Structure 1
Amino acid sequence: MSTTMTTKPDFQTVIQERHSVRQYDPSVKIPREEMEAILKDATLAPSSSNLQPWRFLVIDDEDLLKKLHPIANNQEHVLQASAVIAVLGDLKWYEKGEKIYSMSEEAGYMTEEVKQRFIHTAENMYANLDPSIKESIVDVDAGLISMQLMLSARARGYDTVPMGGYNKDRFVEEFRIPSHYRSVMLIAIGKAAAPGRPTVRLPLEDVAFWNEI
């Protein structure tokens, strides 16, 4: 069964209704057009120098989900969900700089001079960073886009659960992920068969501080 959600609730409703859902209706298949719309929403997330290091591998083939199941510690929602999205970080993300900044110039968002300055920074500063710093940059940006993806899904009536508990080395090997892609997380997406478990949050005074900590 496929379904398309068109009603978009207000932002407060979206963030309050988003929960990590671990039971999905396996009969629901998200149409490709709808999935692409969710991913497109997600790509509006911010990134360092707007270099957009995120990459997605959308896994919706039944046999591939079965292959993923043991890699993801046999979590049942991997088999039930409409798809599992692997969020990857491109450790050579700066190589897209010329394309991105040329698009910005063509759109009238920056001058040729500014474009060349940004390209120089991308090709020199980012390219020569320590590998651990590169990993940190792509991890942060992948986290930003992952949250935006989950909120977009909820706004369209779908549910998600992010997964960090999987064998990343085995995933990279068995799904033939290129060596310059870093596996950051998996996100199961579909239609809930049961609501996510209610959770609590620490009071604001435990997590927010003003001017000193």
Structure 2
Amino acid sequence: MSSTTYFCTIARERHSVKQYDSSHELSKQEIEELLEIASCAPSAWNLQHWKYISIHDQYAKEKLLPIAYGQQQIVEASVVVAILGDLEANLNAVDVFESDVEAGLMTEDIKSSLISQINAAYSDIPAYAREEAIKNASLAAMQLMLAAKAKGLDSCPMGGFNVDTFMEAFSVPGRYIPIMLIAIGKAAGPSRPTSRIPVDKKIVWNGF
């Protein structure tokens, strides 16, 4: 199977699974590998607006269960990854661009210019930081689910949880906003079949 065919198969076969084999475990190394792949996702200015909380221990899953309104996949999945968006991703710029300067991919002048542009965007546009945090962290979230499927695992993105209670229970600093939870593990039951609106009804060619 060609790499193109393989990827298309993975993308088409990824479905949201809500029943997991609770006996299946993932090591920290396996979780780190999934999150490393997720972190290869693109981001504006390469600021990498994501942070992850790996909810791996059973105690932590049990704490999360009522916050996620009793959704059983929370405690049955091998891990639940909380995807957080970084409201202060502009602070990442120095580290990101310094490595480019050291590698000879960028001059100090360009680095300084880019950092000025980024800081201006973050200071001048009130909603910018939140919009960018949600947009870019969501790219990493989708990449995480595809990575899980490629490794023979299943996943389920969840937006149904109490954000304020989650932040308090897991001591999330104000710099970050929870975007979604993603349960990952071995399916113990099939996903619910879903249909898709034909793509020709979703495409507008060259403008409305």
The TM-score bracket by the shorter chain reads over 0.9
Question: What displacement does 1:19 show?
Answer: 0.5
Assess if the C-alpha contact under 8 Å between 2:121 and 2:128 holds in 1. Answer: no
Q: Which runs of 5+ in 1 are unaligned?
A: 1-8
Following superposition, the deviation at residue 123 of structure 1 comes to: 2.8
Q: Is the 8 A contact 1:54 1:138 kept in 2?
A: yes
Name the residue aligned to 1:77. Answer: 73
- Using the TM superposition, name which of 13-22 and 112-121 deviates more: 112-121
1:119 offset after TM fit, Å?
A: 1.7
Q: Is the 8 A contact 1:88 1:183 kept in 2?
A: yes
Shift of residue 199, structure 1, vs aligned partner: 1.2
CA RMSD of aligned residues (A): 1.3
The amino acid across from 1:19 in the alignment is H
TM-score by length of 2: 0.94
Alpha-carbon offset, residue 174 of structure 1:
1.1
* Structure 1 outlier segments of 4+, above 3 Å: none
1:198 partner amino acid: P
Among 99, 103, 107, the residue aligned to 1:107: 103
* Contact map agreement 2:122 2:128 (CA 8 A) in 1: no
In 2, distance between residues paired with 1:120 and 1:61? 42
2:85 to 89, 100, 105: 89
2:199 to 178, 200, 204: 204
What is residue 119 of structure 1 aligned with on the other side?
Answer: 115
Asked whether 1:174 is paired with 2:172, we answer: no
Question: For 1:62-97, what per-residue CA distance to the aligned partner results, in whole angstroms no more than 9, with x for missing partners?
Answer: 111001000001000001001110000111110110
The CA distance in 2 between the partners of 1:93 and 1:179, in whole Å, is: 13
Deviation at 1:212, TM superposition (A): 2.1
Q: Are the equivalent residues in 2 in contact too, given 1:92–1:127 (CA < 8 A)?
A: no
Q: Deviations over 1:174-199 (max 9, x none)?
A: 11110111111000111111121121
- Number of aligned residue pairs: 204
Q: 1:27 and 2:23 equivalent?
A: yes
SS at match of 1:205: helix
Once the 2 structures are TM-superposed, how far is the Cα of residue 107 of structure 1 from its aligned partner?
Answer: 2.5
Shift of 1:33: 1.4
Q: What is the SS of the residue equivalent to 1:20?
A: coil
- Structure 2 runs not aligned, ≥5 long: none
3-state SS, counterpart of residue 115 of structure 2? helix
Distance 2:124 2:36 in 1: 30
Percent identity (aligned): 42
Query: Which letter does structure 1 place at the counterpart of 2:166?
Result: F
2:182 aligned to which of 184, 187, 199: 187
> Does the residue aligned with 2:63 lie in a helix, a strand or coil?
helix
